[in-house]
């Protein structure tokens, strides 16, 4: 600031020096009226750089010097009233008028620059807060912006939750207010109104307390020390309050968004609980009834049955128990995957090993002989939860075996498509009607098979298998898609992202056809 004033003074002195040099050099060629124009020009130029009082004083001194050196009789302040008095008076008035106009325009320009700087500060501050995930983390930036605007020490207090008390110990404090100032900040938050000089409340305080106001709520306060003594304190107050209100609005939006997300999470959890209750109350009844019926028959009439009848009842108990176990696994996984921020137990896994394990389990079933599997050679390792991916493939194979003719194959493929791995299960069944190709992924939906209506076994499904499959795929940042099969039926594709460079796979044979 001192260097800037010095340079302005030097420029003003240079203007006067050039003007006086010109008047001395041109004295013999020009009359007094023309020489005085150089004096007017120097006065206007110096007014661009000198303070108002200095510019007016310099103009008055210049007119007196002009009278002393150039107006006859020279080297005296005597003036011929008929010839030169009007010239000197007019010269002084014109210099003062021009200097006043230049000074006024300079002040207007400075005021415009100040307003532009404040508007730029508000825009920049708004951009910072608009992109902020946690506006409270920018409390230090608010303090810096207020300090730059006032040149005073600033402290900021920010509440971390809606409805927190003004003196909450968990509030974020930036700066070093003393006990009295902390009490003022708490009072400002509690009342939601400014405190201090010029606010109409506690005008005798030297400091100013400005609230961080959201929509109908106050989420903090800012302390500006010594604002009452600031030369532009009254003009600065609206700008400072605007900065604080931007912070308050951003805090309010952030906290409301957090509350909305929490409400959505709670609603999702409640919906999951309701779905579990619906599954337990409805879909568990059929297998339990079958198990109880067969077990009761064995208990009460087992001695009167032949061996084939007992084996048939025992096989029914095993089949329904497996069905009940699968339903339980799917329902529990659906509940876990619908929980917000679920954590997967991921590791680098071989697609061939996952497919091989799924194939071995499928081949143990009576109809498992028609399952075929193929893994693309040199498929990168997958970053996934192997248990969940295996469950996804188990469900898709169970679906394919259940809803396709007994003399047609069900195929399991693992391949690469760009930056994604594709695990696909296809069958040659009746397919799914187009209107149901998205609904089948919803919980407790049983799709219509083909155009002829529901499949004969459609009612046996619990309506959670495909919902679990899609939840597993999405938990891995992937997707589960249903496409029409090339030879009829359905093709379910689980598309999982390939995460960068994977470690080299363990040495193992990579046959085209995976055997059990």
String of DSSP letters for 187-219: HHHHHTS-EETTTTBSTT-SSEEEEEE-SS-EE
Q: At what angle do helices 386-402 and 465-475 cross, to 10 degrees?
A: 150
**In the predicted model, what is the mean pLDDT of residues 60-76?**
80
Name the most confidently modeled range: 123-132, 198-207, 420-429, 464-473. 420-429
Q: State phi, psi for 252 to the nearest 5 degrees.
A: -65, -45
Outline where DSSP puts E strands in 214-302: 218-224
In three-state secondary structure terms, 133 is coil
> In terms of DSSP bridges, do strands 410-417 and 420-426 run parallel, antiparallel, or are they unpaired?
antiparallel
Q: Which of 23-37, 72-86, 254-268, 307-321 has the lowest mean pLDDT?
A: 72-86
More confident residue, 29 or 417: 417
Who has greater pLDDT, 501 or 271?
271
Give the separation between CA 450 and CA 430, rounded to whole angstroms: 5
Mean pLDDT, all residues of the chain? 79
- Window from 132-136, 141-145, 505-509 with minimum mean pLDDT: 505-509
Q: Choose between 298 and 450: higher pLDDT.
A: 298
Runs of H (alpha helix) within 279-306: 285-301
State whether the Cα torsion 326-332-338-344 is positive or negative. Answer: negative
Q: Is the pLDDT of residue 64 over 50?
A: yes
Categorize the per-residue pLDDT at 376 as very low, low, confident or very high, splitting at 50, 70 and 90: very high
Report the pLDDT value the prediction gives residue 353, as an integer from 0 to 100: 93
For residues 384 and 499, is the Cβ–Cβ distance under 8 A? Answer: no
User: Judging by DSSP bridges, how do beta strands 208-213 and 420-426 pair with one another?
Assistant: unpaired
Residue 170 has phi, psi (to 5 degrees) of -85, -5
Measured CA to CA, the distance from residue 24 to residue 43 in angstroms comes to 17
Where would I find the beta strands (DSSP E) of 400-500?
410-417, 420-426, 479-484, 490-497
Q: Which of 244-248, 265-269, 438-442, 486-490 has the highest mean pLDDT?
A: 244-248
CA distances from 406 to 16, 366, 400, 427, 516 (A): 109, 11, 10, 11, 20
Report the candidate in 351, 374, 358 with the shortest Cα–Cα distance to residue 502.
351
Residue-level pLDDT at 342: 67
CATH for 347-497 is 3.30.565.10
Query: CATH number of 265-337: 1.10.10.10, 3.90.380.10, 1.10.287.130, 3.40.50.1460?
Result: 1.10.287.130
Q: What is the pLDDT of residues 395-421, one digit of tens each?
A: 899 888 888 888 899 999 999 998 999
The DSSP code for 238 is H
The domain 135-258 having CATH identifier 3.40.50.740: the answer here is no
Would you state the pLDDT for residue 424? 93
pLDDT the model gives residue 276: 61
Q: Contact, 130 vs 144, CB < 8 A?
A: no
How many Cβ atoms are within 10 Å of 114's Cβ, its own excluded? 15
pLDDT the model gives residue 222: 92
Domain ranges for the chain: 2-125, 135-258, 265-337, 347-497
Q: Give residue-wise pLDDT tens across range 196-250.
A: 877 888 888 889 999 998 888 888 899 999 888 887 777 788 888 888 888 888 8
Which secondary-structure segment (H or E) carries 275? helix 233-278
Residue 504 confidence (pLDDT) above 60? no
- Residue pair 43/61 in contact by the 8 Å Cβ criterion: no
d(CA 282, CA 350): 38
| pLDDT of the residue at 37 | 83
Q: Tell me the mean pLDDT in the region 420-444.
A: 82
Tell me the C-alpha distance between 71 and 110, whole Å: 39
Q: How far apart are alpha carbons 506 and 170 in whole angstroms?
A: 52
In 3D, which of 414, 409, 377 has the Cα closest to residue 393? 414
Which pLDDT band holds residue 459 (cuts at 50, 70, 90)? very low
And the tokens for 438? 């998205």
pLDDT computed for residue 509 by the predictor: 40
Nearest to 14 by CA among 44, 39, 38, 46: 46
Most confident of 96-100, 254-258, 333-337, 474-478: 474-478
Q: What is the largest CA-CA distance in the chain?
A: 153
């Amino acid at each position: 600031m001192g260097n800037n004033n010095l340079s302005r003074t030097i420029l003003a002195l240079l203007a006067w020096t050039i003007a006086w040099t010109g008047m001395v050099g041109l004295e013999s060629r020009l009359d007094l009226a023309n020489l005085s124009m150089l004096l007017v020009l120097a006065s206007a130029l110096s007014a661009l750089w000198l303070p108002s009082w200095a510019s007016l004083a310099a103009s008055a001194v210049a007119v007196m010097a002009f009278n002393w050196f150039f107006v006859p009789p020279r080297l005296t302040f005597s003036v011929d009233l008929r010839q030169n008095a009007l010239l000197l008076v007019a010269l002084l008035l014109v210099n003062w008028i021009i200097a006043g106009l230049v000074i006024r325009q300079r002040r207007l320009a400075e005021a415009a620059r100040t307003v532009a700087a404040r508007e730029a500060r508000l825009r920049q501050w708004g951009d910072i807060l608009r992109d902020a995930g946690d506006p409270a983390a920018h409390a230090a930036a608010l303090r810096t912006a207020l300090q730059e605007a006032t040149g005073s020490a600033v402290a900021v207090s920010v509440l971390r939750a809606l409805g927190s008390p003004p003196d909450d110990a968990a509030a974020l404090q930036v700066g070093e207010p003393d006990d009295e100032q902390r009490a003022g900040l708490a009072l400002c938050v509690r009342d939601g109104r400014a405190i201090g000089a010029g606010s109409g409340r506690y005008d005798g305080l030297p400091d100013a307390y400005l609230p961080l106001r959201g929509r109908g709520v106050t989420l903090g306060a800012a302390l500006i020390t010594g604002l009452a003594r600031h030369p532009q304190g009254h003009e600065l107050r609206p700008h400072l309050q605007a900065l604080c209100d931007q912070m308050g609005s951003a805090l309010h939006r952030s906290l409301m968004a957090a509350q909305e997300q929490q409400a959505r999470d709670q609603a999702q959890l409640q919906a999951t609980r309701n779905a579990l209750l619906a599954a337990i109350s409805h879909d568990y009844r059929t297998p339990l009834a079958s198990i109880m019926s067969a077990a009761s028959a064995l208990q009460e009439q087992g001695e009167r049955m032949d061996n084939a009848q007992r084996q048939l009842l025992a096989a029914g108990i095993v089949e329904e128990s497996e069905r009940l176990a699968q339903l339980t696994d799917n329902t529990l996984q659906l509940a876990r995957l619908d929980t917000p921020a679920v954590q997967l137990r991921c590791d680098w896994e071989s697609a061939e090993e996952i497919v091989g394990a799924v194939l071995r389990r499928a081949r143990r079933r009576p109809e498992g002989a028609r399952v075929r599997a193929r893994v693309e050679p040199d498929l990168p390792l997958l970053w996934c939860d192997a248990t969940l991916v295996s469950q996804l493939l188990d469900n898709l194979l169970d679906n394919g075996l259940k809803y396709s003719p007994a003399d047609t194959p069900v195929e399991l493929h693992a391949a690469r498509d760009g930056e994604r791995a594709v695990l696909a299960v296809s069958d040659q069944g009746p397919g799914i009607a187009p209107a149901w190709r998205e609904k089948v992924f919803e919980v407790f939906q049983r799709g219509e098979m083909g155009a002829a209506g529901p499949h004969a076994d459609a009612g046996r499904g619990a309506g959670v298998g495909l919902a679990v499959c899609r939840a597993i795929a999405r938990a891995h940042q992937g997707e589960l898609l249903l496409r029409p099969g090339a030879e009829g039926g359905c093709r379910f594709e689980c598309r999982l992202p390939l995460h960068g460079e994977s470690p080299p796979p363990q040495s193992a044979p990579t046959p085209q056809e995976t055997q059990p």
